[in-house]
Structure 1
Amino acid sequence: MLARLAPAIFVLLWSTGWVVAKYAAFFADPLTFLALRYSFAILLFIGFCMATGARWPRSLPVIGHAVVSGILLHGFYLGAVWWAIGQGVPAAISGIIAGLQPLMTAAVAPFLIGERLSGQQRLGLVLGFFGIALAVAPKMLAIDTGATPIDLLPVIVNVVGMAAVTYGTLYQKRHLQNGDIRSIAALQYAGALIVTIPLALMLEDLNVTWNLQLVAALAWSVLGLSMGAIALLLYLIRRGQVSRAASLIYLVPPLAAVQAALFFGEALTWPMIVGTIIAVTGVYLTNRKVAGPAASGERASGVAAR
């Protein structure tokens, strides 16, 4: 039963990240919250590694690559996404932007790793970016009836975060082909903490309102996302089912949008709905022919960033 449900559970956990980001912003500054999350995640992962006999890398270059990948995949990516949501970017819009990460990976692959794009993939890229423009533009220009305009800077930061996770995915694929993913994950969260603390000190007042709601958000972020999603990913990798989870990643943007509508009353406007459908179609076309062990490995790196 778990083998059949694990991919869907993983994607459902993944999609809650944007809702948690918006909810946590009511009780703590975004980067400050992430610093707390990473600190607890590091401690829990160290305990998890000790309990399960994980092998720690002994090579300084491998340790360095793990830390750098964590800076990109967690520190800059999640830091940008959470800060943007804290600055007013709707969780649904942020989820749609982040959902285009496979498109950006495909777009830069010809320049970084010499991968050629087919005509279908080029069409997918065009559709994907057109879809995101359609979904985001009305909110930015306040074209929707009763809409509150959102600033351009947080949207740009959100896109920069997507660029960071894109490069981080390629970086991890290039430099971390081997190694125990459990200890690598612990080192990645350490890397994320290294950059998140200075950014929080520079950009925020370190406000934290300790209450039951904050503790619940922190517990879900650490146990449900940082630990639970990774545990499921390990399970899927062991059973060779990463490709099934990767195929369901296309559902993350609409899932995040629906959750934002249910929990925060964010409007599901027609431009957002149509734009999401177009963007998801573009992502599907761009990645449809990716298959085999190498592709599974790349996708595993990409979805390990939450």
Structure 2
Amino acid sequence: MTVVLSVLFVLCWASGFVGAKLGAGAAPVTTLLMWRFLLLAAVLLPVAWVTRKRGSRPSGRVLGRQAVIGALSQGGYLLTVYAAIQLGVNTGTTALIDGMQPLVVAALVGPLLGVSPSGRQWLGLVTGFLGVLVVTLGDASANGSVPWWAYLVPFAGMLSLVAATFIEQRSPAPVRPLAGLTVHSTTSAVVFTALALATGGAVPPADPPFWIATGWLIALSTLGGYGLYWTLLARLGVTRVNALMFLMAPVTSVWGAVMFGEPFTPVTAAGLTVGLLAVVTVAHRRPREQPAAGAREKRPRPVSRPAGGPAA
């Protein structure tokens, strides 16, 4: 079951980069994100209310923590991913830069969660970073119309998702998946509605491509991508789940080449191969994680709280 969930997670998370490309030409970033989360919140709020358990109402502190997680993992992460794609960065390259997340997580996981990656895992993570570097430099050289600083935008989003991941892992008590997703999506709806109103982009276009992209992002990227991300985080731990991020680039690059005609060069193929080797190295065996006292990974009870996906 875990393998199936992992495959679905990779596909759903990668779909976010493709969905961002679909919607990029139909409307401004804030418009697309505003309606994505307004519609999602409108569906989730009544469902979460009807299915709530008696006496399980979260405290204000818990809701506040979940709102911060949602703002970081959906607001900060998605805004930068969409902005990078609109600036001209290829979907595969954006996904690959986002794939550096495992290395950042591994560097922080020991000090913050008391989980020490093994030497083999470190080797895989560094190998994955080299694959990211190869593809990013190759794409930057081939795509001269994109400003160099545009490649820094996805890095900012990746750091935002990393921050959300660690805040979630340090949460003292579990939150029901549906309740967490509802808070995250409602928070994002408020954030992106404010941004859209401030920039004059609140009115959605009537064009079908906009609504197709919106539906795509709600169903696959948010419900599928973010839901499976937090679910697998509880099942596998931080290091192994984030190693799956190295697989987003191969899937997204092939997807982008087929749907949008994006270039798929030998340099891209080489970098993606390195990324695949990194995942195999990290996931070769179950890491012997020793969470620090109070770390959420130590809890046997699964906790899944969608914050984002998709991904983009």
Q: For residue 153 of structure 2, what is the aligned residue in structure 1? A: 157
What is the match of residue 67 of structure 1? 67
Secondary structure of residue in 1 paired with 2:170: helix
Aligned pairs, number: 299
Superposition CA RMSD, Å: 3.5
Distance 2:306 2:104 in 1: 12
Pair 1:34-2:51 in alignment: no
**Is 1:25–2:24 an aligned residue pair?**
yes
SS in 2 for 1:175: coil
Point out the structure with the larger helix share: 1
In the aligned structure 1, how far is the partner of 2:232 from the partner of 2:59? Answer: 27
Alpha-carbon distance in structure 2 between the residues aligned to 1:97 and 1:297: 32
Q: CA deviation at 1:250?
A: 4.5
Separation in structure 1 between the aligned mates of residue 10 and residue 125 of structure 2, nearest angstrom: 23
Deviations 1:57-105 (A, max 9, x none): 4311100000000011100011111111111111110111122322221
Q: Which residue of 2 aligns with 1:290?
A: 287
Q: Distance in 1 between matches of 2:106 and 2:3?
A: 29
Q: What does the per-residue CA deviation read over 1:240-270, in whole Å, with 9 as the maximum and x for residues that have no partner?
A: 6999x94765532211111100010001111
Contact persistence 1:31–1:204 (CA under 8 A): no
Unaligned runs of 5+ in 2: 290-295
Within the candidate set 221, 224, 244, 2:220 is matched to 224
2:305 is the counterpart of 1:305: no
Counterpart residue identity of residue 263, structure 2: A
The residue type equivalent to 1:305 in the other structure is G
* Contact 2:74 2:307 (C-alpha < 8 Å) held by counterparts: no
TM-score, normalization: structure 1? Answer: 0.82
Q: In 2, Cα distance between the equivalents of 1:300 and 1:160?
A: 24
Instruction: Give the structure 1 partner of residue 107 of structure 2.
Output: 107
Aligned equivalents of 2:75, 2:287: Cα separation in 1 = 28
Contact 2:20/2:82 (CA < 8 Å) preserved in 1? yes
CA distance in 2, matches of 1:249, 1:178: 24
Residue 11 (structure 1) aligns with: 10
Matched, 1:268 2:264: yes
Structure 1, unpaired ranges of 5+: none
Distance 1:174 1:131 in 2: 30
Name the % identity. 25
- How do 1:91-240 residues align onto structure 2 when only pairs under 5 Å count? 91-142=91-142, 147-175=143-171, 177-200=173-196, 208-229=204-225
